[in-house]
Amino acid sequence: MRSHRAARPSGSFEYGMWLLTRISGLALMLFGAISLGMGFILGGREYLTMPAMIRWMFFPNPNHVINSDIPDVSLGWSNAVWQIYSILMIFLASVHGFNGLRMVVEDYTDRPLLITFLRGLTIVLLLGGVIVAIYVVLAS
C-alpha cells in the first residue's frame, strides 16, 4: 500500500486541510450525538416534534426549538459550557464547509491569479460567517 502513502505530501497546506476535514467531520458527528442526547435529557422526548428534535441535534441553540411547547428552552443551554460548545461547532463546520467550497472551486479553475483571488474571497466569507454566527449564539 505504498502508493496510498506517497499520494499525501506531509506538512503541506493541502495535507493539513485534508486532515482537518477528516477530523472536523468525525468531530461534528460526535457533537451531533451529544446534542441529541442532551436534547433527550432536557425533555425533547415529551415536548419536541421530530423536526424540532432534528433541528436541535444539528445545532443546539434555544432559538431552534422556540416554536415548540418545551417549557423553558434557555434552561440548561445558556451557560458558558454550551456557548463554547456551539462556537467550537460553528468553527469546525465553517472551516470544513468553506474548505470544501474551495476544493470544488479549484477543481473548475486553473488560472493561478483567479485561484488566489477566490481563496481570499473564501477567507472573507469564512470570517464573516463565523463572526455573525458567534454573535447569534451569544445573543440568543
Partner 1 sequence: MELSRRVSLISGLRYKGGQGMLNWALHRITGLGILLFVGTHVVVSFFGQQFGDDLAFAINGVYESWQFQIFVYFSVLFHAFNGTRLALMDLFPALIRYQVELIWLQWLMFVPVYALPVYIMIQSALSGV
Kindly identify the residues of this chain, within the stretch 33-52, that bind partner 1 according to CB under 8 A.
49-51
First to last CA, the chain: 50
User: Is 29 near partner 1 (CB under 8 A)?
Assistant: yes
For the CB of residue 56, give the shortest distance to partner 1 in the complex, in Å. Answer: 12
Residue 12's alpha-carbon distances to 5, 8, 15, 16, 28, in angstroms, are 14, 9, 5, 6, 24
Q: What are phi and psi of 66, to 5 degrees?
A: -70, -25
For the CB of residue 36, give the shortest distance to partner 1 in the complex, in Å. Answer: 11
CA dist 116 and 121 (Å) reads 9
84-103 footprint of partner 1 as x/- string (CB under 8 A): ---------x---xx-xx--
The separation between CA 112 and the C-alpha centre of its own chain, rounded to angstroms, equals 29
Q: Which residues bind partner 1 (CB under 8 A)?
A: 1, 4, 22, 25-26, 28-29, 32, 49-51, 54-55, 58, 63, 67, 93, 97-98, 100-101, 104, 107-108, 110, 125, 129, 132-133, 135-136, 139-140
